A and B are shown apart, each in its own frame.
Chain A
């Protein structure tokens, strides 16, 4: 598959007022998101014999889009094994194994399927530490993927991480880049708490610099992916890419957007976002889910609570249309926010709606067409 989707986040985009951005050190190596996930798993399994990996088809030749390739051969069927579907029971099995000292990674090829695991995740995994007086820990990683386009439809497309952000005791991470995919997965595996590790199917095709060594991208730290002055643009998971594209469109009208990737949604680094909004006075949060009670609602609420009476702030959320994801191509395209719509919303906040600006599509900023499979 083409990798035109990839925007290089490592060479900071020259924003209107950011001046001379500091160039990152030259990446030593480029890896795809898929390979970053695979390498993180491999290195942690190599380092720590208590790490085990399971889920439907993790040992299948397709190897979960390649993210588990070669692992069963290397670590054997006792540490890497396919399972019956049984999402509910397998989640409980993972919890039991974690209580017994293992560090399970449970893989689901769509986030939608986690609805079958909710009882164990919310009622057991999240609560065990607290409910049992801090005497046990549940080191567990649950990997799942959000689908988009190609007619994924109602039950293969949902970004439901806000469900998990709501529950004390769970951590939630949604890395965008291959660099973060590896660093966050290593951090998640080493974490002594249940961590919901959320991938996006389209991000799997991203390529970027990934160091060979082991490193962690720790909970509770956001990243300013590109500095700016006029509007703070927070993009979650795949929407981070659309925000970076939107930033390019905004350059054309002289609007300087500061783009932030929260990376970890729980714990959430609200301070970094608040500091940015303190500077810009404008906040747009673009989510990979519905806006109602979602991650965008949470971020906007927290920023407003912090800055009310301190700074006049204008806010806007963008997310899925408040409908079930349709498979009809034109409706499906309308269902998602895209870079041009994001740019227009930002411009409205800065210059007012009267401008009625909507950018013409630039071919190099066009979204990649996902052609499947899965």
Chain B
């Protein structure tokens, strides 16, 4: 095992970004440098998977260096089974994104590649931070590259979209910052306590916060994360951001950034505020269920394929919310697998939409038709990814959805089967909006003479989709590869909340005062 392996993974992309800027003489040098760094990062990150010990309940690959001693802030990173898988998802998708932009990004290539690599560091940072302050820094750092990626390489209305994206996220994260500061302050009010931002310490401290204050803390974190997910009704930035973002931006946005929201809900809301989790679980599950149905219905009537996929994200992410707030091992495991699934399937869908857009410069459903005959390889990949997205058993989507549903069905926290009954209708609607779109785009006859000029996928494009399809099948057939790594971490989250339910963890009844 490489010592300090997580440090390497975290900063390699950043170093790569610097290297890219040095290599900017030729676009190809830039692309290859970026790809090389992201590939090395991915290969090293595989070590995380193999070295991670599910039997060890503590955080692993931990690094801790004091950063701002006066505030007790430290550079503290580490992974459990949940965050490890998300880090690997990130490092897996980044090279794919870079290759996907090989041809389509022609202006300011160096800046694009460098921003993507900065983004990768920030995303890995979010998943591996064990310090609230550090977490916040990475969380906000995401905004900068993403702002430019949409704003520079985006579509016609990119400025509106990127500002909307920025403001939505900022509103949430400001409240989160206040909550982070308040948490540190609360720790200092305890007997012998000091101001702290250490998450592992806060795991023990935060659950004792008086209920009424905990609710505010919970709300501040939840709002920030729900915007990111995005949960109904905070989702309207997403379709705009997706439609305007370049393909690579969309893939990262859907593939990884949305997961930061659901990851945050598990890491902070569930683990820091178990009492409030119990209190708000129903509300958030309702939002999840509404998101599932609403996202699907709105998706159904879209005329732009990319917008359709964007709204489908709202639906898919709703399943994850439901899984998280059912607070069962199955539900959370399903939610986690669904995070990976959504990263793979929706990521692949955006790639596919990008490929057709590169060729036709339109994404309107009515412009296509009959692609199956014209570009069969493309259509085959499209079909497999579509089937994964609608949760066909044997492919990945089913595993996540099924575990979420069967978990939340038994949930003691929710205490009612109706959440799942309504959520399950999403399974029907998903088939409706995806297959209807697929029928109009791929089957039937071509509705535009332009389609006759379409050429099938290049080797590069097949190479992009093939690894994703491999994992789509893998997770569908043998999900244990992933489930077994995160099971113990998920169990710990659930156990803590069960302890609260059994009355084994007490909140202090009085407000803290100095």
Do these two chains really belong together in a complex? Answer: no
